[in-house]
Amino acid sequence: MKIRNILVAALAVVALTGCSQKEDYTWVKNGIDRATSQLLWTAEEIGETGKIPRSTWAGYDEQMLERQLNREFATFKDSLRKKAAPEMMGKRRLATVYDWTSGFFPGSLWYAYEFTGREDVKAAAEKFTNLLLPVSHYTKTHDLGFMINCSYGNALRLAPCDTIPEVIVRTADNLCGRFDKEIGCIRSWDFGEWNFPVIIDNMMNLDLLFSASKLSGNPYYAEVAKIHANTTMKHHFREDMTSYHVVSYNPDGTVERKQTHQGQSDDSAWARGQAWGVYGYAACYRETGDEAYLAQAVKIADMIMSRVTTEDAIPYWDYDAPESEETPRDASAAAVTACALLEMSTMVEDGEKYFAYAEKILKSLSSDAYLAAEGTNEGFVLMHSTGSLPHGSEIDVPLNYADYYYLEALQRYMNLVGITYAEL
């Protein structure tokens, strides 16, 4: 695999020559300090509930949804989630370990431990990671990568234990159980009227399979990941490189239908879906060296950078949503994109432009506009993410996966510029 580190080399030259002013990284330290404080506060408050913090409870305004979706309320009212009780609004929303987001909170704790080296953070990370052990026997979701790779995967990296590889490989076996050889994809959802739905999010679960191949020495897991990535590349993307959210397949592998379940319309560019795509293909290139995956990631990244119109680079929840003050942002999409572009900056000739865009995103997320003050935001790190606006679900709220990818992006950024928390 040809990996280019032009950016890192350039930074090293600057450091050696001393020809430029020292960069101010106080925003990085502030982000880490606030995140660590918020995560520990949350861990303490949750205590022994056995639950995972997911978001906060929020309602929705029907007229605002009409404007965002450019549709009359009657056309989508049956898809809306039931509103939470008034007394729950704004309070922390907890989830079970079988929720698709369960791996992100322990994963965030692992990143906080990596930054700070604090033993109390490590203890919390271990505690919440261990809660997810039953997930390694779970077969009813495609999101096993999110759930186990973000938790146990980071645990293996930062606190190796001889029982962790077994957890990862067993989980990968369950994920492969959802693979259909004729279709060439891993099935996503088990609900709805689709025959065999595959969502762009599923690109994020392939890292688990690559990890399992390396841990077990069995190439099958990686082969499944590559076949899924190839099928998704063929059918999920439009000519302008925006992605559908859902592609459903017939039993013979032909396409049943394409749509965008969590976006403005079937033909719109749902912001987080675009982020899942660029991250997933950059990761596939990292693991395989296949230039087709890098080319795909580059095309998606260039599309994102041309389509996001906000001054701070934090996208609206859908690229085709109205550009107005009331339109919700999606900090989670921004954080995922930053992670992908930082990795891509080491892979291509013109990597500096991807690094600069990711840095802009990170500085925006680290500002008071998005980074919560300590003791607020129900213990979450970032504000202003959007889960599923067409369903009236988690609109303009904190989301645990926004926090996770923000911290992952900070870790990648610090590695690239060659700084450690102790030096800040």
Q: Is residue 11 part of a domain?
A: yes
Task: Determine how many CB atoms are found less than 10 A away from the CB of residue 30.
Answer: 15
- Listed residue (79, 3, 45) closest to 393, CA to CA: 79
pLDDT of residue 106: 98
Q: Considering 24, 78, 120, 143, which one is annotated as catalytic?
A: 143
Task: Determine how many CB atoms are found less than 10 A away from the CB of residue 24.
Answer: 7
pLDDT of residue 22: 79
What is the distance between the alpha carbons of residues 63 and 65, in angstroms, rounded to a whole number? Answer: 5
Q: Are strands 92-95 and 246-249 parallel, antiparallel or unpaired?
A: unpaired
Q: Considering 24, 61, 201, 267, which one is annotated as catalytic?
A: 201
Check residue 53 and report its DSSP letter: E
Continuous segment of H or E residues that includes residue 6: helix 6-17
Query: Residue 267's domain is classified under what CATH number?
Result: 1.50.10.10
- Listed residue (24, 208, 30) closest to 115, CA to CA: 30
Q: Tell me the H-state helices in 201-317.
A: 206-216, 220-235, 271-288, 291-307
What is the distance between the alpha carbons of residues 332 and 388, in angstroms, rounded to a whole number? Answer: 12
Q: Is residue 177 part of a domain?
A: yes
What is the distance between the alpha carbons of residues 34 and 28, in angstroms, rounded to a whole number? Answer: 10
SS3 call for 301: helix
Continuous segment of H or E residues that includes residue 174: helix 164-176
Alpha carbon separation from 349 to 11, 121, 282, 354, 422 (Å, rounded): 16, 38, 15, 11, 32
pLDDT of residue 21: 65
Q: Is residue 268 part of a domain?
A: yes
Containing domain of residue 149, as a range?
Answer: 6-423
SS3 call for 255: strand
> Locate tokens 């990890």: which residue?
211
pLDDT of residue 231: 98
Task: Determine how many CB atoms are found less than 10 A away from the CB of residue 74.
Answer: 8
Alpha carbon separation from 146 to 151, 213, 248, 324, 357 (Å, rounded): 8, 17, 22, 32, 25
How many domains, the chain?
1
Q: Please say whether the beta carbons of 206 and 280 come within 8 A.
A: yes
Rg of the chain, C-alpha, whole Å: 21
* Residues 6 or more apart in contact with residue 49 via CB below 8 angstroms: 94
Q: Please say whether the beta carbons of 68 and 76 come within 8 A.
A: no
Q: Please say whether the beta carbons of 269 and 307 come within 8 A.
A: yes
What is the distance between the alpha carbons of residues 370 and 310, in angstroms, rounded to a whole number? Answer: 14
Give residue-wise pLDDT tens across range 93-132.
999 999 999 999 999 999 999 999 999 999 999 999 999 9
Give residue-wise pLDDT tens across range 160-188.
999 999 999 999 999 999 999 999 999 99
Strand partners, 180: 185
- 159-164, long-range: CB < 8 A, 24+ apart: 159/122, 159/125, 159/126
Q: Is residue 373 part of a domain?
A: yes
Task: Kindly state the tokens that stand for 201.
Answer: 């999010």
Q: Please say whether the beta carbons of 48 and 93 come within 8 A.
A: no
Q: Is residue 404 part of a domain?
A: yes
Task: Kindly state the tokens that stand for 54.
Answer: 């997911």
Is 143 labeled as catalytic in the residue annotation?
Answer: yes
What is the distance between the alpha carbons of residues 271 and 73, in angstroms, rounded to a whole number? Answer: 22
- Listed residue (299, 185, 286) closest to 237, CA to CA: 299
Task: Kindly state the tokens that stand for 222.
Answer: 């990686």
SS3 call for 198: strand
Strand partners, 199: 246
What are the per-10-residue average pLDDT scores of the chain (424 residues)? 48 42 92 98 97 97 97 95 94 98 98 98 98 98 98 98 97 98 98 97 98 98 98 98 98 98 97 98 98 98 98 98 97 99 98 98 98 98 98 98 99 98 96
Residue type, 244: Y
Q: Is residue 1 part of a domain?
A: no
Q: Model-level pTM?
A: 0.96
